[in-house]
Structure 1
Amino acid sequence: MREDLGHLQGPAWHALRAPLNRRLLKADSATLYLDQQNEVADDFVKILASKNLSPEELEDMFYRYAAESIAVVTFNTRLRLFDQNPNEKSVQIVEASKAALQATQDSVFGKSFAHKWYKNSTYKMFEEAIGIIRSVSAAHVSHAQTALENKVKSGQLKEDEPNLLLSLLSEKDLTQEDIVVIMATLYSAGTDSTAKNIQVFLYNLARNPEKQDLLRREIFENVGKNGPLSAKALSNMVYLKAALKESFRLNFPGSTGIMRILNEDLVVGNYRVPAGVRVLLFNPRAAKKNFENPEEYQPERWLRSDDTVKKDTAHNMIVQPFGHGARSCIGRRFALQEMYLLATKILQNFHVDLEPESYETKFIYKLFIEAEKTIKFKFTKI
């Protein structure tokens, strides 16, 4: 099976990653898709307002939101996952993404280890799931390519139209298979983590209603009660960004901090760590020397006062859930935007609270953070 970005190293990794860096790490790479993703978030809120969803149904809706949002980027289309009867292929790729994640989780945390030597059930589950994801991705890429070619021929393609797929198709060094692997990876990698972390974010806002009110005030000042989230408004919403970052600090998104494989020997504290060893960096997100009252949810700690001095002594680099440097998460800007967007839309329309049994929710770590028991939210129409 062709390896993807998450498993490649060296020149092979760089060949796939470099074209994406030029397009997805730019400051405006995600905001170009705000119009389409606003529509996805609006559809989510309409369902939330019109249906009495069970906690389990709502949890699934968060997953569908994340999958639908990233699909407008990777496949240049809507998957229609909010429809009453979604397309079979759309459901298929969602379920395959969940299966691939489960197989990865089982291998990382030792539930499966024999896959290193032969194709056990975990390996087969992963192989089948990735095969489905790539097959559906290939169909979307082929369809999008045909549609784009027709637009170009008819002169209907707008120069300012956001289109990652078209830009990758113009890369001479990328094959069709390369593009399918890239799109499949982008689609499946961030869906689960985004869906779970937006729930954690809303949980922290529900537990801290005074912070929720402050954020809603900022939303109304910049977006209004019904307006779409624009790039200009988002750039001004410092409390929104601080609130999400503080949620990341209090409930770190991943099961580990940043991990890297050493290219050369390294001496740390008189210990020699040989090249090739995986090094897990310490994540001091709750150290009292860095954070005053570290157990409290305080978005203000990331803001700057009038004299531009940050209100907490912690360095911004302490909380880096997406990594840093050349191998940082390629979908970082999109994951953040999807969470900013849905939180904005929900707070425009609802006050978020918790049922009593969810107020002290315990979080556990698999590959990513998740609630041990499904969170029971209460949404009260404003």
Structure 2
Amino acid sequence: LPSLHPRSSRLTSERVAARGGEGPREPVSRGSSFPGADRHISRHLRSLEEMPGPSAIGFAWDLLARRGLSRLHEMQLEGHKRYGPIWKAKFGPILTVHVADPTLIEQVLRQEGQYPMRSDLSSWKDYRRLRGHGYGLLTAEGEEWQEVRSLLGKYTLPPKAVESYDGILNTVVTDLLACLKRRHRLSAHGLITDIANEFYRFGLEGISSVLFESRIGCLESQIPKETERFIESINTMFVMTLLTMAMPAWMNRMFPKSWDTFCQCWDYMFQFAKGHIDQRLKKESEKLAQGEEAKGQYLTYYLSHQGLSMKDIYSNVTELLLAGVDTISSTLSWTLYELSRHPEIQTALRNEVLMVLEGKQIPGSSDVARMPLMKAVVKEVLRLYPVIPANARVIPDRDIQVGGYIIPQKTLITLCHYATSRDASFFSNPNEFQPQRWLSKEHRHHPFASLPFGVGKRSCIGRRIAQLELYLALARILLQFEVRPDPDGAVVPPMTRTLLVPQSLINLQFIEL
């Protein structure tokens, strides 16, 4: 929780997943034509003491009693409305600076240095030290993080490298469609309840296929017990992450139940990943022993041939396994939810898919690359429902200037992405689902207003793979089904559970075409 603890963080940009929008590639010029680009240039630098914000008691009451942790994303909007684009908040001894303007977010990110530092995932690191595990891409910092990111980036960021995954991802999509059809046949009037759960298993199967080039049975009619337990461990671990980070270490020792549960979840997740890694590498060794050529197009294979220790391989693969699951599940659920409520956009997107495929039933990466409305729909969903509602940064070695204030080194800075992506100054009708806003050349958006993948060196390393998985799934679902809202359903708002997720079940009616 960036707003609670200087050594904590939301699972920022390393979470492998599709969230629409590439983020800025070039610096924004300071005389910029983006709305409000020069609003916060100040000739007088002020101190942190002069920054507005709630009292410590008021903030704690608002956070824990009135609003609750599940409403953290809404507190961004309230903070911006009350105090302006930058404010401070204190929880106990912890002081956090909140930044809720894209121009100011840009200022922070332009000053983050060679090794951008999120605040620590403190409880994650405490667990690894306790068990003697290495740090993976989500938990490492500095040169250690840079080394792993450079290795993985070769196989996850270049478009040509990503194209190689469309075959195995399409096999996973085929199994997803079979699951949807099976549930459709068993349902009343085609109503599939809790669609996010179906997509959660799809996301886990997809990232497993990329990591292991093998399947773990998430989409089978009978899910293997070990896979079911892994899914439960991920869900419980994220809930326990909020609790263990919000509590100081001495409270975890005094009330150990949350910490023990947290560790048990991680124990099983490491065990699960290690079993699949060992199994795949054993098969490669057997091929080599028999004189066969051992090749692979999966990330574990690449990591194992780059000189990383097995300890580091286990840690990185375990973290990557859980990184993209919620992203795929949440984004795909929200996308179909919005398309069901906007049938005219759903029809237009289906027509685009049909036109590009020209009779084909299974798209490839080159096909979805020619679907601008598809990309706009996903971008708009991720503007409204960013999987990571807030990001965090700590500049460890120097003071920086943001919005006319001096921010001392080591200050925790929360980047309020949910607030900026719903700011009427940058997006007209900000609470409305309008994918066309991303297709209009007349309306330019500040490139730091919606950052679902993060930006720069800390941007999501798996964004292109996640986008591809989403596009392939959406295209094929729309070829098979018309999706309608639950006839008895109500509006589903988002809630914060470390990530931004649906507050209630998303139930959708699927009509076979």
Shared fold, TM over 0.5: yes
Find the aligned partners of 1:259 and 1:302 in 2 and give their Cα distance. Answer: 26
State the Cα distance separating 1:336 from its structure 2 match: 1.9
2:392 to 259, 271, 294: 259
1:188-229 deviation digits (Å, cap 9, x = unpaired): 122123212210111111111111111111111123566212
Q: Do structure 1's residue 300 and structure 2's residue 432 form an aligned pair?
A: no
2:263 to 119, 127, 146: 127
Identify if the C-alpha distance between structure 1 residues 331 and 255 changes in structure 2 by more than 3 Å, giving closer, same or farther. same
Query: 2:336 is matched by which residue type in structure 1?
Result: L
Among 268, 277, 297, the alignment partner of 1:162 is: 297
**Deviation by residue 1:240-262 (Cα, 9 ceiling, x = unmatched):** 11110011112222231x32111
Number of the residue aligned with 1:7: 139
TM-score, with length taken from structure 2: 0.68
Partner of 1:269: 403
Larger Rg: 2
Partner Cα distance (1:15, 1:231) in 2: 28
- 2:170 match: secondary structure: helix
Matched, 1:291 2:422: no
1:35 Cα deviation after fit: 0.9
Q: RMSD between aligned alpha carbons?
A: 2.3
Separation in structure 1 between the aligned mates of residue 435 and residue 467 of structure 2, nearest angstrom? 16
- The superposition leaves residues 152-207 of structure 1 with CA deviations (integer Å, 9 ceiling, x where unpaired) of 45565576x522222111112x1011111111111112212321221011111111
CA distance in 2 between counterparts of 1:115 and 1:8 reads 24
1:340 to 464, 471, 478: 471
User: Does 1:103 find its partner at 2:236?
Assistant: no
Letter in 1 for 2:394: I
Structure 1 position 208 matched with structure 2 position 342: yes
User: Does the CA-based 8 Å contact 1:225-1:349 persist in structure 2?
Assistant: no
The answer for the alignment partner of 1:171 in structure 2 is 306
Structure 1 counterpart SS, 2:165: helix
Of 181, 187, 212, the residue aligned with 1:49 is 181
1:307 matched to which residue of 2?
none
Q: 1:228 aligns with which of 362, 366, 377?
A: 362
- CA distance in 1: counterparts of 2:425 and 2:219, whole angstroms: 46
The letter for the 2-side match of 1:33 is Y
* 2:446 alignment partner AA: H
SS class of match (1:378): strand
Determine what percentage of the aligned residue pairs are the same residue.
Answer: 25
Count how many residue pairs are aligned between Structure 1 and Structure 2: 372
Partners of 1:85 and 1:376 lie apart in 2 by: 22
Contact 1:302 1:311 in 2 (8 A): no
Structure 1 residue identity aligned to 2:258: T
Q: Aligned pair in 2 of structure 1 residues 47, 280: CA closer, same or farther (>3 Å)? A: same
> Does the C-alpha gap of structure 1 residues 87 and 157 become closer, same or farther in structure 2, counting only changes over 3 Å?
farther
Q: Which runs of 5+ in 1 are unaligned?
A: 305-309
Q: 1:121 to 1:176 in 2, by over 3 A?
A: same
The answer to whether the 8 A contact 2:201-2:218 is kept is: yes
Instruction: Give the AA of the match of 1:260.
Output: R
CA contact (8 A) 1:364 1:371 kept: yes
Structure 1 residues 213, 142: CA separation in 2 closer, same or farther (over 3 Å shift)?
same
**Counterparts of 1:50 and 1:154, CA distance in 2:** 42
Higher alpha-carbon deviation: 86-95 or 212-221: 86-95
Q: 196, 203, 224: which is aligned to 1:66?
A: 203
Q: Which moved more, 1:6-15 or 1:202-211?
A: 6-15
Residues 1:302 and 1:316: Cα distance change in structure 2 (over 3 Å) = farther
Give the counterpart letter for 1:369 in structure 2: L
Is 1:31–2:163 an aligned residue pair? yes
Q: Is the 8 A contact 1:254 1:365 kept in 2?
A: no
Distance 2:153 2:338 in 1: 32
SS at match of 1:290: coil
- Find the aligned partners of 2:268 and 2:250 in 1 and give their Cα distance: 20
The equivalent of 2:314 in structure 1 is: 180
* Deviation, structure 1 residue 281: 2.3
- The 8 Å contact of residues 400 and 408 in structure 2, kept in 1 or not, is answered as yes
Deviation at 1:74, TM superposition (A): 1.4
SS in 2 for 1:260: strand
8 Å CA contact retained: 1:55, 1:374: no
| Cα pair 2:192 2:509 within 8 Å, conserved | no
Match of residue 137 from structure 1? 273
**Is residue 206–residue 469 contact of structure 2 (8 Å, CA) maintained in 1?**
yes
| Residues 156 and 201 of structure 1, relative CA distance in 2, 3 Å threshold | farther
Gaps of 5+ in 2: 1-127
Larger RCO: 1 or 2 (CA < 8 Å, sep 6+): 2
Would you say the 8 A contact 2:374–2:471 is kept in 1?
Answer: yes
| Mapped partners of 2:248, 2:231: distance in 1 | 26
State the secondary structure of the residue aligned to 2:456.
coil
Q: Specify the alignment match of 1:87 in structure 2.
A: 224
**SS class of match (2:324):** helix
SS of 1:89's partner is: helix
